[in-house]
Every structure is written in structure tokens, then in C-alpha cells.
């Protein structure tokens, strides 16, 4: 059961309308790193979670993300208030109105016109929200790592948004949202490491002969803790096939499949001695071996 408290989780104070900034903030409303994507990710994970502690954590954070969606949406609407009235009533000259809603040089005029200066579920480029943003795979040791990364990405987006506004109220609210990404990241880290062992993900171990082997596949080769040390076996300039085979692909076929495949190969075989006149030849003026 969900209930709604009409008061926001954090007070929104917008100093002045700014449609361009409102458009940028759509990234955290209907974008890949936004609050709706986060809420959907954690809510669906919570529904499938069998561990009561992790289920509670995921549901709590999913619900808070909806609160954050409400905050971001409220900021967007407040920033668009001036444009909303101007668009609806047309009291400005056309050119002045266009410049007013497009002052930041981005696509705010598109979202303002199409959505009436509201808060649509699109990103800052106008791309509609999609469930493809939710990357849950149903394995907590993988999903919680993805959640940690999602919170980190969202924090970075909030930092960048804070860097493009001098509105003190908006900057303060964005700072709160950014800080909650840190808190969620900490919770997810603790939940992940309360599962022991949690690496490698899933149930099956890796093939021991390849688990700690590093293949240097580019030149020049650089070394660091990612490929050197006691646990690493470093392979410089690896050659196929690393399993000791011949590196080819093969399949066991029944005699019937083999006969059909051979017939197809004969029917579609190329003639290496042919030199046919093609459409490209004709288009370039070459006809039957003569230059025209």
C-alpha cells in the first residue's frame, strides 16, 4: 500500500523561472540516471527479493526515489511557471517568447510546447522514458553492484546540474538529492557485503585456469594492480587458441544435415574466375568491357 503526503520530502525554493534549466533537470526526471528509473529498478527488485532485510531496504529506497521524483518534478514545474503562462496566453511577441523559453540554447522550447511547460517523462533531449533503463537481472550480488553504480552515476549528474545553476534554492535542493544518492550507495554497499561470499556473482565458479589470467591485448602494454601481483598470471601477446585447441569452430552434424548443407554450399558457391558486369560498372559508364 502506498499513501501520499502532499508535503515534499525537501522544501523547493525557486528564485526565478528558467525554462532552460528546467529542461536540463528532465535528465533526473525521465532520464536513464533519473529518479523514476531508480524507483522502478529497486521496486521490481524488492518484489522478487526473498531476503526480508534486503526486501525492506529496496522497498524503502524505491519509495524514497518516488519522493525525489516529486521534488525534481516540482522544481521543473516551478522553473517553467513563467513559460507556462506566456505560452498559454500569448501575451509576448512571438520572437520574444521563443527567446524566453529557449534562453539556455537547449531544447526547452520543444518540451515547453509539447508538454505545456510541465514535467514530462522524457530526458533533457526529449527522449521518452523507457523500462530499458532498468537493468535488474534477479541475482542480488549482481543487482546490488548495479544499484551502487546507478547511485554513483546519479550523484555525478546532480553535481553537474548544480554546476550550471546559480539559483540558491535549486542548488540547495539538488545538494540534498545528491547527498541521498551517497546514503543509498552506502546502504547498498552494506547490503552487498552482508552476503558472503559475494564474488564471483552467482553460484558457479570460474574456470580456474582462466580466472586470474590477464591477456595483454593492446600495445604498448601497461602494468598495474589490475594485471600484476601474486594472484595474476600475465600473458603478453596471447595467441589463439588459449585453450590449447586449433581455434576453429566445429559442429557434429547428422548425415542428413551434412548432405543438405553440402547441397546448399554447391548451389551458392562463387566462381572465382568470373568477372561479371555489375550495376556499379554500368552506373560508372563501363559497358561490356568498353569505356564509354
102 with 189, same domain: the answer is yes
Percentage with pLDDT > 90 across the chain = 74
157 with 225, same domain: the answer is no
Query: Per the domain annotation, does 30 fall within a domain?
Result: yes
Q: Give the whole-angstrom CA distance, residue 9 versus residue 17.
A: 22
- Note down the domain range covering 49: 19-193
Contact 140, 41 (CB under 8 A): no
**pLDDT tens for each residue of 174-215:** 999 999 999 999 999 999 999 999 999 999 999 999 999 999
45 with 143, same domain: the answer is yes
132 with 240, same domain: the answer is no
Q: Give the whole-angstrom CA distance, residue 29 versus residue 121.
A: 6
116 with 223, same domain: the answer is no
46 with 113, same domain: the answer is yes
Query: Per the domain annotation, does 287 fall within a domain?
Result: no
**Omega cis (within 30) before 200:** yes
The overall longest dimension of the chain from CA atoms, in Å, is 83
211 with 141, same domain: the answer is no
CATH code for position 135: 1.20.1260.10
Q: Give the whole-angstrom CA distance, residue 146 versus residue 153.
A: 10
182 with 211, same domain: the answer is no
Question: Which pLDDT score is estimated for 99?
Answer: 53
25 with 158, same domain: the answer is yes
Q: Which of the residues are catalytic? A: 35, 65, 68, 151, 181, 184
**pLDDT tens for each residue of 10-43:** 999 999 988 889 989 999 999 999 999 999 999 9
145 with 34, same domain: the answer is yes
Query: Per the domain annotation, does 283 fall within a domain?
Result: no
Query: Per the domain annotation, does 252 fall within a domain?
Result: no
Query: Per the domain annotation, does 200 fall within a domain?
Result: no
Question: Is 155's pLDDT higher than 90?
Answer: yes
109 with 150, same domain: the answer is yes
Query: Per the domain annotation, does 285 fall within a domain?
Result: no
Number of domain units in the chain: 2
Question: Is 98's pLDDT higher than 70?
Answer: no
Contacts of 267 (CB under 8 A, 6+ apart): none
Average pLDDT score, the chain: 89
Helices (H), the chain: 19-25, 27-30, 35-48, 52-79, 81-89, 94-101, 108-115, 140-162, 168-193, 208-211, 255-267, 279-283
Question: Which pLDDT score is estimated for 92?
Answer: 47
Query: Per the domain annotation, does 259 fall within a domain?
Result: no
Query: Per the domain annotation, does 286 fall within a domain?
Result: no
Amino acid at each position: 500500500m502506498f499513501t501520499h503526503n502532499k508535503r515534499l520530502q525537501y522544501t523547493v525554493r525557486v528564485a526565478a523561472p528558467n525554462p532552460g534549466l528546467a529542461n536540463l533537470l528532465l535528465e533526473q526526471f525521465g532520464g536513464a540516471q533519473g529518479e523514476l528509473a531508480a524507483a522502478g529498478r529497486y521496486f521490481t527488485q524488492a518484489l522478487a527479493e526473498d531476503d526480508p532485510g534486503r526486501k525492506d531496504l529496496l522497498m524503502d529506497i524505491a519509495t524514497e526515489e518516488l519522493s525525489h521524483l516529486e521534488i525534481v518534478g516540482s522544481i521543473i514545474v516551478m522553473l517553467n511557471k513563467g513559460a507556462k503562462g506566456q505560452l498559454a496566453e500569448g501575451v509576448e511577441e512571438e520572437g520574444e517568447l521563443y527567446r524566453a523559453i529557449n534562453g539556455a540554447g537547449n531544447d526547452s522550447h520543444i518540451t515547453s510546447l509539447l508538454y505545456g511547460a510541465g514535467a514530462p517523462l522524457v530526458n533533457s533531449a526529449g527522449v521518452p522514458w523507457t523500462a530499458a533503463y532498468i537493468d535488474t537481472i534477479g541475482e542480488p550480488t549482481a543487482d546490488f553492484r548495479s544499484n551502487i553504480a546507478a547511485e554513483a552515476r546519479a550523484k555525478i549528474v546532480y553535481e553537474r546540474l548544480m554546476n550550471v545553476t546559480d539559483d540558491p534554492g535549486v542548488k540547495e535542493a539538488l545538494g540534498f538529492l545528491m547527498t541521498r544518492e551517497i546514503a543509498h550507495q552506502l546502504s547498498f554497499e552494506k547490503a552487498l557485503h552482508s552476503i558472503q561470499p559475494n564474488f564471483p556473482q552467482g553460484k558457479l565458479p570460474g574456470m580456474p585456469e582462466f580466472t586470474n589470467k590477464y591477456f595483454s591485448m593492446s600495445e604498448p602494454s601497461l602494468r598495474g594492480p589490475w594485471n600484476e601481483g601474486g594472484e595474476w598470471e600475465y600473458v603478453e601477446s596471447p595467441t589463439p587458441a588459449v585453450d590449447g585447441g586449433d581455434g576453429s569452430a566445429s559442429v557434429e552434424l547428422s548425415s542428413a544435415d551434412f548432405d543438405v548443407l553440402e547441397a546448399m554450399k554447391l548451389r551458392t558457391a562463387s566462381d572465382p574466375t568470373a568477372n561479371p558486369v555489375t550495376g556499379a560498372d554500368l552506373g560508372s559508364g563501363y559497358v561490356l568491357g568498353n569505356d564509354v
